[in-house]
A and B are shown apart, each in its own frame.
Chain A
Amino acid sequence: MSMATQTAQPGAITAQDGGLASQIRVAVPERSVRSDLRAVSIVWRREMIRFRRDRLRAVTSLVQPLLFLLVLGTGLSSLAGGSMPPGVNFRTFIFPGVLAMSVLFTAVFSAASIVWDREFGFLREMLVAPVSRSAIVIGKTLGGATIATVQGVIMLALAGLAGVPYNAELFLILIGELLLLSFTITAFGVMMAARITQFQAFMALTQMLVMPLFFLSGALYPLSGLPGWLSVLTRIDPLTYVVGPMRHAVFSHLSLSPAALAHLSPGITWVGWVVPIWLSLTIVAVMGLAMLTIAIVEFSKTE
């Protein structure tokens, strides 16, 4: 009914005027799945445009992971080398963790763009549009996840530096896992951005959370034989459930002896029970979806 009055009114008037407006008939249609999908897509595309414009950011976010990989990885290899089987480098061991790291920081930073948009007013342009808030939140999350994954893939291209083979199957698995991680971390960031409205506070708080997430994930050390307290903390860290499967993927493509594989990638255990890889990844996905849902609810409440 509202559609009818909408199109009828300007139509009737412009026909009399014969003005410019009569040449182009525009009427905003009623909200539909299709219009929501268009909204998701344009919000996503905006993130891509801005990422492409910001080459400096792509380069600078490589610095920290590279420092970890090349400096820390090389520096510690003499110490850790003893426990590595022949042909395997300590850099290889931390490579999955470094991949996760590059994704982690980029994803959080992407989510920060919501806070940024709020401070510079653009968020209001989105929130006042006749689309569901979920479309905007999903578009933002997918955009951030895509950027973070791209960043991870750039890092992945440097696999040779860590002695990881360029194997198509391995790369596909790793990219899939990076995508999952990117999604969950971005969803986490977006959820935080719903509540924290100041950029400084957002960055301070996320930085404070991101470092422990990284250090507790087993990115830099094996998860077996840890003291009880650390063992518990690592099992709580969601990042653990991505780093573990990534490490498993890397080492199972290295033609190692079963004993060496078991030593380097023993898997994540819950009081002795080895968590299967599919369950690990499911945990991460479920967490991501839960945080996305919270973000949608929060944004639907604002203003």
Chain B
Amino acid sequence: MDQQEASVATQAGPGTDGADAPAPAQAGAGVQLETRPPAVEVSGLTKSYGDIEAVRGIDFEVAAGETFGFLGPNGAGKSTTIKILCTLARPTAGRASVAGHDVVRERDAVRRNIGLVFQDTTLDNYLSGTQNLRFHAELYAVPSAAVEPRMKQVLDMVGLWDRRDSLVSTYSGGMQRRLEIARGLLHAPHVLFLDEPTVGLDPQTRSSIWEYINDLKTREDITIFLTTHYMDEAEHCDRIAIIDHGKIVAIDTPEALKASVGKDRVQIQTADDAAAIRELASVFGIEAAMHEGAVTFSVESGEEFVPQLFARLTVPIRSVSVSRPSLDDVFMSYTGTTIRDAEASGTDHMRQMAARFRGRR
């Protein structure tokens, strides 16, 4: 993107002399053919609800065809960002464009180009699967001839073809989610937004949803923007942004983020945790803290450190676990807390519970 802007700028230089005014436009089109413009561009985006600053000036870009994940605890501002990107909320400041269209000034163009799966279900339970899809197709003015085959295609993709004529109220939570994904894809959007596509589902259903999403990437030319607060799900993304308290604290590929942490995480359970933390500081010069009920700290090489730990720590150790860096550690190194701790303290907990309850009903 930076390159593209640069090349347009240099072309525009001579263009300003007059004569060949259309030149920059042509140059722009040429660039577009080589590298496609980003699917999502966000700069300085801010959203406040009264005193609450839900999003505090974020910048990022999602390339066309990429699967991009927003990872953050409850209340981080993930849904708010999605709402702005899909034109359901107006930004307080900053700008954003989706599929090349500004989300404030070109709302209709944005809407035609995006598919949405919201955090809370938006199906009509009193209609069948087909009727829900039909409603969507008509609302999006999908060409009549394409409606039937496209419906079959997306229903096949999510494995709901056999159940298409059952009322949605008889679907399981996972089936409802799959139907929503199918509906979001029905009008062949360029960008698909998935706000916590697997929230409130059991692990098996979660992994089956991910199979569909991964499958989707190979079948359709589509950019996927998703949010999650499950670390393992973020691994499915090409790139992830870690968002906390309305700010992006890190953004990169999962591998690069893990490499940037570079340390192994050690968790020990001891007879006296407070004493253990003090000793770790005095004996090893290591800063440790309580996370998830265990004394937690990071070291360069876990397997070399653990024998020393047993030799030199006077506090009895009950258990030790060493883990290679995970996204959890990335999250911790950037925000100073694990995502589970962040969730547990979140005031949005009740809201989350309510959402799950509604989703299941």
List residues of chain A with CB within 8 A of the CB of B135. 42, 46, 125
Partner of A124, one of B113, B118, B149: B118
Known: A28-B187, A129-B111. Contact between A23 and B149, CB under 8 A?
Answer: yes
The CA of A39 and the CA of B111, in the complex, are separated in Å by 15
Q: How far apart sit A124 and B111, CA to CA, in the bound complex (Å)?
A: 13
Which residues of B in the span 143-172 have a Cβ within 8 Å of any Cβ on A? 143, 146, 149-150, 153
For A, the interface residue count at a CB cutoff of 8 angstroms equals 45
Cα–Cα, bound, A122→B111 (Å): 17
Residues of B within 8 A of A10 (CB): 188, 190, 221
**Least Cβ–Cβ distance between A275 and chain B, in angstroms:** 42
Write out the residue numbers on chain B whose beta carbons fall within 8 Å of the beta carbon of A53: 126
Bound CA span A242–B187, Å: 45
B86: which A residues are within 8 A, CB to CB?
128
Q: How many A-B residue pairs have CB under 8 A?
A: 125
How far in angstroms is the closest Cβ of chain A from B202? 22
CB pair B136–A28 under 8 Å, yes or no, is no
The residues in A between 161 and 206 inclusive whose CB is less than 8 angstroms from any CB of B are none
With both beta carbons as reference points, the residue of chain A lying nearest to B116 in the complex is identified as A128
Q: Mark A3-22, 1 if CB is under 8 A from B, else 0.
A: 00110011001100101110
Can you name the residue of chain B whose Cβ is closest to the Cβ of A129?
Answer: B139
Contacts of B143 in A (CB 8 A): 26-27, 29
List residues of chain B with CB within 8 A of the CB of A27. Answer: 143, 188
Q: Mark B281-321, 1 if CB is under 8 A from A, else 0.
A: 00000000000000000000000000000000000000000
- Of B134, B140, B188, B220, which contacts A130 at CB under 8 A? B140
> When the two chains form the complex, which single residue of B109, B142, B221 contacts A2, counting CB atoms closer than 8 Å?
B109
Q: Is the pair A121, B120 in contact by a Cβ cutoff of 8 Å?
A: yes
Q: How far is the CA of A14 from the CA of B139 in the complex (A)?
A: 25
Q: Which residues in A have their C-beta under 8 angstroms from that of B142?
A: 26, 28
Q: Are B124 and A46 in contact (CB under 8 A)?
A: yes
For residue B37, which residue of chain A has the nearest CB?
A5
Classify the secondary structure of B's interface with A: loop
Q: Are A128 and B111 in contact (CB under 8 A)?
A: yes
Which A residues from 88 to 128 make CB contacts under 8 A with B? 117, 120-122, 124-128
A263 contacts partner chain B, Cβ-Cβ < 8 Å: no
With both beta carbons as reference points, the residue of chain A lying nearest to B111 in the complex is identified as A130
Query: Within 8 Å CB of A32, what residues of B?
Result: 141
Chain B residues positioned under 8 Å from A46 (CB to CB): 124, 127, 131, 135
Give the residues in chain A near B221, CB-CB below 8 Å: 9-10, 13-14, 17, 21
A34 within 8 A of B: yes
Set of chain A residues within 8 Å of B188, measured between Cβ atoms: 10, 21, 25-28
Alpha-carbon gap, A303 to B138, bound state (A): 22
B341 beta carbon closer than 8 Å to chain A: no
Whether A38 is near chain B, meaning CB under 8 Å from some CB there, is yes
A292 in the interface (beta carbon within 8 A): no
Interface centre among A17, A24, A25, A124 (most CB of B within 10 A): A24
> Is the pair A38, B141 in contact by a Cβ cutoff of 8 Å?
yes
- Tell me if B220 and A19 are in contact (CB < 8 A): yes
Residues of A within 8 A of B112 (CB): 6, 28-30, 130
Whether A26 touches B111, Cβ cut-off 8 Å, given contacts A9-B221, A19-B218, A122-B122, is no
Q: Give A204 to B189 CA distance when docked, in angstroms.
A: 41
Most buried by A among B136, B146, B220, B358: B220
Question: Which A213-229 residues have a C-beta within 8 angstroms of B?
Answer: none
Query: What's the Cα separation between A20 and B221 when bound, in Å?
Result: 11
A→B interface (CB under 8 Å): 2, 5-6, 9-10, 13-14, 17, 19-21, 23-32, 34-35, 38-39, 41-43, 46, 49-50, 53, 117, 120-122, 124-131, 303
Listed A/B pairs (25) with beta-carbon separation below 8 Å:
A2-B101, A24-B153, A26-B142, A26-B143, A28-B113, A29-B143, A31-B141, A32-B141, A38-B139, A41-B138, A42-B134, A42-B139, A43-B139, A46-B131, A49-B131, A120-B124, A121-B122, A121-B358, A124-B118, A125-B124, A125-B139, A128-B87, A128-B116, A130-B140, A131-B139
Nearest 8 pairs of A and B residues by beta carbon: A35-B141, A42-B138, A130-B111, A26-B188, A13-B221, A121-B122, A28-B112, A129-B139
Given contacts A38-B141, A126-B139, A129-B136, could you give 16 more A-B pairs where the C-beta distance is less than 8 Å?
Answer: A2-B101, A10-B190, A17-B221, A21-B221, A26-B146, A26-B188, A28-B188, A32-B141, A38-B139, A39-B138, A42-B134, A120-B124, A125-B135, A129-B111, A130-B112, A130-B140
User: Contact residues of B with A, CB < 8 Å?
Assistant: 36, 86-89, 100-101, 106, 108-109, 111-113, 116, 118, 120-127, 131, 134-136, 138-143, 146, 149-150, 153, 186-190, 218-221, 358
